[in-house]
């Protein structure tokens, strides 16, 4: 089972390392994933632009279901595309992930750590609401759909 200490360490690492990069917004998220089939929740930080329209958006997601607990630390970069005359912006990007799996089912009850990579596409409203789709590779979940809110 993933220990609370591991989850806390993951949160401190992702959010602690990102803070010096002048974080500008914090968001919360929840959603579902496929392979493993899970419900997840988490949070992210988003920096101001590193270069025009490109920001760093590290996030942590904790998933439950399919007899597995998953803590995913995603180090993603997103490129924003504002929509003229609309309060929405599109974003796309991706980045590497560290995935901590813990078997809660009939298996050996062990845990595993795997690297992955995510490709992200999303839409965010100026008011804070966002929706996001991730496609994972290597040891990341195959697909994730999330909705969330950016605290302004």
- At 126-144, the pLDDT tens digits run 999 999 999 999 999 999 9
Asked if 89 and 122 touch (Cβ cutoff 8 Å), the reply is no
- CB atoms inside a 10 Å sphere around CB 83: 10
| Cα–Cα distance for residue pair 120/79, rounded to 1 Å | 10
Question: How is the chain split into domains, by residue range?
Answer: 4-151
Asked if 100 and 119 touch (Cβ cutoff 8 Å), the reply is no
Q: Higher-confidence residue: 31 or 12?
A: 31
- Residues of the chain with pLDDT > 70: what percent? 80
CATH of domain 4-151: 2.40.160.20
Give the model's pLDDT for residue 111.
Answer: 86
| Cα–Cα distance for residue pair 31/49, rounded to 1 Å | 26
Give the model's pLDDT for residue 82.
Answer: 92
Average pLDDT, the chain: 87
Q: Output the CA torsion 134→104→6→128 (10° steps).
A: 30
Q: What are 70-95's pLDDT values in tens digits?
A: 999 999 999 999 999 999 999 999 99
Q: Does the reported pTM lie above 0.75?
A: yes
pLDDT at 21 over 50: no
């Amino acid at each position: 089972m993933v220990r609370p200490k591991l989850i806390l360490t993951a949160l401190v690492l992702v959010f602690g390392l990102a803070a010096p990069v002048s974080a500008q917004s914090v968001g919360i998220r929840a959603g579902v994933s496929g392979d493993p089939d899970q419900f997840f929740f988490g949070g992210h930080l988003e920096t101001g632009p590193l270069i025009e329209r490109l920001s760093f958006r590290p996030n942590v997601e904790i998933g439950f279901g399919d007899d597995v607990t998953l803590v995913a630390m995603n180090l993603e970069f997103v490129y924003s595309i504002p929509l003229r005359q609309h309060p929405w912006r599109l974003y796309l990007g991706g980045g590497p992930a560290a995935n901590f799996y813990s078997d809660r089912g009939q298996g050996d009850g062990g845990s595993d750590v795997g690297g992955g990579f995510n490709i992200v596409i999303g839409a965010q409203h100026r008011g804070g609401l966002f929706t996001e789709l991730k496609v994972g590779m290597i040891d990341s979940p195959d697909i994730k759909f999330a909705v969330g809110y950016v605290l302004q």
